[in-house]
Structure 1
Amino acid sequence: MTAAPTTRRPDSLPPVVSEPRPRRGRRDRGWAAAMTTTALWLYAAVAVVPLVIMLLNSLRTNRDLATQPLGLPLQPDFTSYQRAWIEASFSTYFLNSIVVTVSSVVIATAVSLLAAYALARAKGRLMSVIEAVFVSGLMMPVFLMIVPIFYLLDSFGLVSTRTGLVMVYAAVSVPFSVFVLTTFFRQLPGELEEAARLDGAGPFRMFWSVMAPLVRPAIATVVVFRFVPIWNDFFYPLILIRDQQKYTLPVGLTSFFGEYQTDWSTLFAGLVIATVPLIFLFLVATRQIIAGLTAGMGK
């Protein structure tokens, strides 16, 4: 340890030991961390407040909502959930959203995983051009693609079908998924593939058993970032679906809005039903990302 600096007094008295000055950098970092934590908690509180209001209002009647919009459900009423699920055909909309969203995410993730692995490991000008084509899909506005998409699906007889909607969502999700997964694959060392090849693993075995498990955090990220916008999308189902029995949740929610009166209690109940899968997905995906990162650090 370095001795503290001493100061010699002129009158032959014992030297006075000066105290070391505290480092300002460490204190500044502590204040910055505290302010960042406070800002994040405030943001979380602001984000949670609308969800709490939505849940509380779903347990109240329309009369209570009209007289006291921000009141508390002193006598919770669950009939709004029954009306939303049965009378408003919300069970059908919920099933349509589950089928369309899960199918789209699974297809897009599977295709993007194979394409990203090939782009990350192959070298050449052709692969660079293919990667640029994939990335260019991120710059295409949704509203500019709807007319050619509609005519393309109409030529195959897929308008107003869940299959056509799944194909559109899967195709739109591929560019972002390929971009994220390619970045993760390029960070993996090539020695892993060489070791697997020496052990007798073929290309598919090498990809499925060695490389794919190492990018689980990227897969979870892709699933979350594509599941949420597809689940909440209103534009494509409104244009491509004409049969009410094939509506997804965002389009089905419009049935609660009338010309002269709106069933607010049932609407809030429908919003809660539509939000629960997203909350569950975020909880599961967060655990998967942390588990994948921890497993990679342990290895």
Structure 2
Amino acid sequence: MKQPLYRPLGTAGVHAILGGYTLVALFPIFLILINSVKSRAAIFANPLALPTPETFSLIGFHKVLANSHFLLYFGNSLFVTLVSLVCIVLFGAMAAWALSEYPFPASRWMTLYLAIGIMIPIRLGTVSILELVVKLDLINTLTALILVYTAQGLPLAVMILSEFVRQVPRELKDAARCDGVGEYKIFFQVILPLIRPAIATVAVFTMIPAWNDLWFPLILAPSDQTKTVTLGVQQFIGQYVTDWNSVLAALSLAVIPVLLMYVIFSRQLIRGLTSGAVK
């Protein structure tokens, strides 16, 4: 039997490539975090050095919290993101359950409609969305952002969750029905616990665009009381562009929640991605 002319990368080679890519991707975040707790002189002297007792300084965080309403912006982003995630996961799972369990003649057209929603960016409808928000008197409200992010995330959520709902054994659902369990209890007590990896995947993929979005907060909710953290940080950087302590501190405060979200749900995210890959 002839030997192949080349050998595919072994496990060590694959891990080396992935490890190198991880370092390249995380290096800018690492650089921001370590310099956010250093003095201005230390940043310019050696930006790659770790903070020491002599160079450690929280002056940037003090300036951010004292000279801006950062906690308010942070609370707005947290509220909008969490409520949007709950709506996306709940309505997406319910729609996936309906499309998978109760097929109807137009279900294929509904699936195609959702696929179009994934392919066409929602920003193309900004003018129409703005007109609708003004007519509903929702301008400069967090409700407008929640509605937009929910509409933005639902197509992808339904497509991902539908594949997982179809993999739930029918015997489980039929056994529950034979025991007199209603459809709502089957959905909440049987289906949702079994598709937790998919829910975590949807949560991560929809949380990051909502948290990092600058476009819709700038158009729909630019007032001081409804600014999100991304919009607030952008305007803060514009005012303190030469104050690197404050700039890096503001960026760190905006990045940390996303990192924590990924760390918390990373295992479920990987399980969801790998499960979907073989289904």
TM-score, normalising length: structure 1:
0.83
Residue from 55, 63, 86 that aligns with 2:33: 55
Per the alignment, do residues 234 and 260 of structure 1 end up closer, same or farther by CA in structure 2, a change over 3 Å counting? Answer: closer
Maintained 8 Å contact 2:197/2:272: yes
Match for 1:230 among 187, 196, 210?
210
Contact 2:31 2:47 survives alignment (8 Å): no
Structure 2 counterpart of 1:232, one-letter code: N
Indicate the structure whose relative CO is greater, using CA pairs within 8 Å and at least 6 residues apart: 2
Counterpart of 1:32 (choices 10, 14, 18) is 10
2:120 is matched with 140
CA distance in 1, matches of 2:248, 2:101: 49
Q: Relative to structure 1, is the Cα distance of residues 67 and 173 closer, same or farther in structure 2, using a 3 angstrom cutoff?
A: same
The residue correspondences of 1:103-252 to structure 2 (distance < 5 A) are 103-252=83-232
Task: Give ranges in structure 1 of 5+ residues lacking alignment.
Answer: 1-20, 294-299
Distance across 2 between alignment mates of 1:33 and 1:24? 19
How far has the Cα of 1:126 moved from its partner? 1.5
How far is 1:64 from its partner?
Answer: 3.8
Q: Is 1:109–1:222's contact at 8 Å kept on the other side of the alignment?
A: yes
RMSD: 2.4
- Partners of 1:214 and 1:292 within 8 A in 2: no
Note closer, same or farther for the CA distance 1:130–1:227 as it changes in structure 2 (3 Å cut): same
CA separation of 1:73/1:125 partners in 2, compared to 1, >3 Å: closer, same or farther?
same
Give the number of equivalent residue pairs: 270
Secondary structure at the counterpart of residue 63 of structure 2: helix
Q: Per-residue CA shift, 1:4-38, capped at 9, x if unaligned?
A: xxxxxxxxxxxxxxxxx9x968x946x43221111
Q: Which runs of 5+ in 2 are unaligned?
A: 274-279
Deviation at 1:73, TM superposition (A): 3.2
Task: Tell me which moved more, 118-127 or 210-219.
Answer: 118-127
Matching residue's letter, 1:109? V
CA contact (8 A) 1:115 1:178 kept: yes
Change beyond 3 A, Cα 1:273–1:132 = same
Instruction: Find the aligned partners of 1:269 and 1:34 in 2 and give their Cα distance.
Output: 37
Query: Which has more radius of gyration?
Result: 1
Counterpart in the other structure of 1:99: 79
Among 73, 77, 88, the residue aligned to 2:68: 88
Cα gap change, 1:225/1:258 in structure 2, threshold over 3 Å: closer, same or farther?
closer
TM-score by length of 2: 0.88
Pairing 1:79–2:59 present: yes
